Structure 1
Amino acid sequence: MSDPVLNRPSPDPERDLAAWVTSYGPGLRRFFSRRAHDADVDDLVQDVFMRLQAVQLNAPIDNVERYLFTIARNVLISRYRRGKIRFHSLHEGYEDAPEMADDMSPERIVIGRQEYSRAVEVILNLPPRARAAFLFHRFENMTYQAIAARMGISKESVKELMHRAIVRISQEMGGDA
């Protein structure tokens, strides 16, 4: 059998494939090792050469390396899509999930407002330095170091003030805080 384009015997596709595996296999392994789990690398390389073998080429490949790495990229995309579909079936959507919270009834709204007012009152009744440290930390997101600098005390003193404030709030709120 001869190649009509070049008027010479056509190369053995099995021999070309074996040469390509030898030449480009290590490069493909490096390519996949940066983009996939190590356990999947050999399977991905095999997928590339299986796809190459399955393709009936009517024309010679000008740039074998570019062609192989294009196939490699497509193999990664296909693997990603299959994985996404596989795990999508395990995902439970919000519409199928049991209702997590009941509707905001007027009763719940009133109870929430009462608890909020109670918490504000407890915070306002803290000793002045503990209240200041608590407000700086919880409402102004200041670090203990920044609070210490602002109040002119040590970081350890801020920790102690925060501890006292939290214990007092917890006691006053009945352990609900």
Structure 2
Amino acid sequence: MIDDHALAYWFRTEVLPLEGALTRFLRRNWRASQDVGDLRQDVYELTISGARRELPHNARAYLFTVARNHLINRSKRARMVAFDLMAEPEVVIADVDFHAAERHLTARDSLRRIQDGMNRLSPRIREIVELRKMDGLSARETASRLGIGLDAVNKQTGMGVRALANFVQGGRGLVVRQRRRIPERMSVSAGANR
């Protein structure tokens, strides 16, 4: 256990100077900006209680890991799943994990890669993928909102997700449109008419 004086000194000198960066992080990753002050205080409380056992070597990584995990837990409780917050839900743990900083950085890199892949999609396919996969709308709701057919929504969702997966795995992330196969007998008879 860390004594209260050492803990207070660590918090004053290592954590409090990060308040501006923490506030920006919370604003960027939480939809309700009026909650930012309360969230910051929650993060400070969790940071202090976790550091009572052992002072972290990297206060910045520790603070932002605590903040990220707290946002994930809050969003799960509120059932407001924000895309940025759900990059790696398996990282969430009850006790603070001092090795989570590396996973956090990996998740942020993956999230940036996904966002880059989304930006490469055509505007229509990107909109459909966002409505289906991020906003959680059904195919029918998406079709209704965009005024297109259900088959078009399903087909374009599949094309977008495949292109995104390809990009995340290191490919070019191009949308591959399936060509209709002409039945054999039709292509033969079409050639005979020429």
TM bracket (short chain): 0.3 to 0.5
Question: TM (normalized to structure 1)?
Answer: 0.39
Return the index of the structure with the highest Cα Rg: 1
Give the structure-2-normalised TM-score.
Answer: 0.35
RCO (CA 8 Å, sep 6+): is it higher in 1 or 2? 2
